[in-house]
Structure 1
Amino acid sequence: MSDSNTTDFINPSTFILQGIPGLETAHVWISIPFCTMYVIAVLGNCIILYVVKRERSLHEPMYYFLCMLAIIDLVLSTSILPKELSIFWLSSREIDFSACLTQMYFILSFFMIESGTFVAMAFDRYVAICHPLRHSTILTNRVVAMIGLAVLLRGCVIVLPPVLLAHQWPYCRTNIVASTHCEHLAVVKLACANIQVSTSYGLFVVFGVTGLDVVFITLSYTQILRVILSLPTKDARIKTFGTCGSHLCAILAFYVPRFVSFLTHQFGQNVPPYTQVLMSNMYLVVPPTLNPIIYGVSIGQIRGRLLRLFPLNET
């Protein structure tokens, strides 16, 4: 490491975001798909919120949770992409130490909130399909609000320890973060201290908390699949499964890149740094982009309202 990258500081006033290590010369080209995905994420999720708000027939638990997901995706994508684009376009790599920790907190907390929202959506589909006559009595507006509050509080509280630990570590080697954003592991690896407690807690969150969410989602959809297969006609099975297909696609797009990214950071010593950074971006950027497309295209009620509100042809 060169002398310019080494200092004698503890908790620097700023960090330097390197961008995508090894692909610095291609930053301008890489910015094109990132910018496109951000525009799609913002417009798509805003349209979902607008449609659900305007159409009273969509004021149901499923669409309330969908609105929660849209807001979460807007926060997640806005937490990282504007700064990333400033790195790609303007070489604006500096980020204040406090701002870096704030970005880290938003990324971690809203990832956990989105994971909890997927559990809530899976529970809603379970009740709607397995206990359709009791759906309106089980998932009242009050219950939906309580679930949303519980998901929000869990996400905000459970990620406080790693951020507080990241704040207290001494950073006396370098302030250059080999990433496009203040990802937790990319930052704490710069600390000149034993960070085992941080990495262990990260493992607990990913495989304990998030893993438990995946278990609940799997159990819900196992019961849903059992009910679908017991339906008397093929058309009924296809129609019922169609209401869940969008959720399954969104869930896979959310969890798979996250687990792959975490494993490459923890155990991928031979994985190129640019691959690790790109993977860490995928689980934060791709779901906010895909979710409004998936739900807008596959859910008939949303698609129908979109065609009514934004007709393709004027006569």
Structure 2
Amino acid sequence: MSTMTTTPPRPHVPLSTRPPGSSYRRFKDRAATVALTGAMILAMIPLVLIIFEVTRRGIGVLSLDFITQTEPPPRREGGGYAAGFFGTLYIMALAVLMSIPFGIATAVYIVEYGPNRLTSTIRFFTDVMTGIPSIFVGLFVYGLLVIGWGGMGFGTFVGAVAIAVMMLPIVTRSAEEMLRLVPHEIRNASYGLGARKWQTIVHTVLPAAAPGLTTGSMLAIARGIGETAPLLLTAFGSGLIVTSLQGSPQGAVPMQLYRGAAQPFEAGIDRAWGAALCLFLLVLAFTIVARWIGSKASTNG
């Protein structure tokens, strides 16, 4: 005798007996989808127009000469922003050395040694610093280092300090979130093997959070590389390649772009469009690398 049982078919529910309001709910769902899609399209229109215009005006300027030659007088055609590219790389290298290690160390203290009053204070001021306009940072560094403390004057170092201050809260907050994602079981396993707290942090926690820390650092660099206002009050700008660390005004692409766009001469304005496209490509490259690292980390995890 077979013991197999069959599941009886589900009875058909007539439309008249279905729960009331189901059609209205579907209508609201579709309406919300259409509204959100429309809002997204409206928000993307300015971005697409900016990208199109910058690419259209700047693509004809980009060449090897634009990267390797210095800027000629505003009326003259040709030339490039070699001084700005060199100064930007110089300033950003120093800013990375000042902001990323200190920001990650601050995040480690908040996550691994908190919560306490000090970590709450650090988190509060980090959130405040994230929303401070960049011109205020430039004024702070100008008053503290350029004309204060013996008058260091304009230069590469003070410009890097201003950019590092802008990057620091971004690195700290992103690193804090990445460290919180590391499972506590990993820490407990390290402690169970006899490792001390600092050994657990250095050899277990930081390697586990390394992809996320790299992503946050890349986004902070992308933010800092396009800043103009802090550099106007610290690096000041130069059309020549400057190798000194401090005491001589240093150039940067954002400053040359700003001053080139303010000129009444067509040649200088064209070079400014080329610089804008270069900055856009640099920021896009850092963002893509950060997203790629984040996606690889999620896939491997």
Whether TM-score is above 0.5 comes out as no
Q: Which has the higher contact order (CA 8 A, sep 6+)?
A: 1
Tell me which structure has the larger Cα radius of gyration: 2
| Richer in helix (by share) | 1
